[in-house]
Amino acid sequence: MGQYHKFMNFDKKEILNPPGLLKLMEWSYQRNEYMLQVENLLKTSWKGDRVLVIGDYADDFYEDKYSSELLKTIREENKEYGVHNIYDYPYREIKNTSADSNKLPSRYINNDSLKEYIDLKKQLIQWVVYEENKNLISGAKIHPLSLALSCCNGAGGGDYYAPNAHEVGCWITSSNNISFSDELKEGYKDSGILFNEYSDKENNVEIIIDYMTENFKITDIKKIEKIKFSPSLFLDDDEKKHIIEQSIKNIKEKELKLDNKDEQKDKIIQDIKDLVMNYEEEIER
C-alpha cells in the first residue's frame, strides 16, 4: 500500500501537511507549492530546527533501520504521546498558504554541519514541459531536500526506489543545520546527491535537445530561435545557445531523412508498378 509523508518540526512541535497528494514522490519536485512553502519555513520560522520527513509507516523503522536511533530519540522526547506513531503526533498544524509555483527555489541546499551542498541545477529533468503560449521550456525535477530528510523511505508505494535510494535520509541527523543560497558557499563540497526516476540521460541539456528534436518541426524553427527557458533549469547562456543550435540541426536532419524515405518509398512503388506492367505485357505476348 502507499505510504503518506509530511514535514514535521520536532523542536517547535509543528506539522506542515501536503495540501493535496500525500505520497513522497507525488510532491517531491522542485517548484511544487508544498516544497516552496517548506523552503520558506526553513529560511524563516523553522530555521535551525530539527525538521524531518516522516511517513505513516514509521513504526516499521523503530528497529534495525537506518533511522531507528533517531526515531527512538524522538519518541523519548515525546513521552506524553505514549505509543502513538510519530506520524500521528498531535502537533500544531501550520496552515498551508498558496505558494507561487513560478517562484525560483534557491539553487544550493547547504548542510552546514557537513559543509556540503546539493546543486539543484544538477538534478536531472524527469520530463520536459513546453508552454506554447509563452514559448517557454521548463522541466520537472526531483527536489532532493525531502529525500535527504526522509526517515521512512522504502516501506510503501510512492516512496523512492530509483537509483541512489541509499542516499535517502542522508541528512536526517543534521536537519537543524540546513541553509539555502543562490551562490556557492566557500569551502563547501558537492555532496554528489542525485535522484532520478525517469530520465535515461545524464545531462539536462541533452534531455531538452532530445525533447525538442522529437516534438518540433522544421516549420517551428523561427519559434525555436526565440524560445525561452525557465530560470529554474539554471541554464547558462552557452547551454541555451547550444540547445537551440543543436535542436535546429537535428530537426533539419530528421526532416531530410523523412524526405529521403518518402523518395525511396515512391521509387519502390514505381519499381513495383513497372514490374507488374512488364509482367502483364509478357503475358499478353
User: What is residue 283's predicted lDDT score, i.e. its pLDDT?
Assistant: 60
| Domain boundaries defined on the chain | 5-190, 200-285
pTM over 0.85: yes
User: What is residue 148's predicted lDDT score, i.e. its pLDDT?
Assistant: 98
User: What is residue 260's predicted lDDT score, i.e. its pLDDT?
Assistant: 57
Question: pLDDT 10s per residue in the chain (285 long)?
Answer: 799 999 999 999 999 999 988 999 999 999 999 999 999 999 999 999 999 999 999 999 988 888 999 999 999 999 999 988 999 999 999 998 766 656 789 999 999 999 999 999 999 999 999 999 999 999 999 999 999 999 999 999 999 999 999 999 999 999 999 999 999 999 999 999 999 999 999 999 999 999 999 999 999 999 999 999 999 999 999 999 999 999 999 999 998 876 555 555 554 445 445 444 554 555 655
User: What is residue 101's predicted lDDT score, i.e. its pLDDT?
Assistant: 59
User: What is residue 2's predicted lDDT score, i.e. its pLDDT?
Assistant: 92
Exposure letters 157-178 (e unless 16+ CB within 10 A, then b): ebbbeeeeeebbbbbbbbbbeb
**Beta carbons within 8 Å of 262's beta carbon, 6+ residues apart:** none
Please, which contacts does 236-239 make with residues 24 or more away whose CB atoms are closer than 8 Å? 239/205
User: What is residue 274's predicted lDDT score, i.e. its pLDDT?
Assistant: 47
User: What is residue 268's predicted lDDT score, i.e. its pLDDT?
Assistant: 47
CA distance 230 to 164: 27
User: What is residue 271's predicted lDDT score, i.e. its pLDDT?
Assistant: 45
CA distance 109 to 217: 38
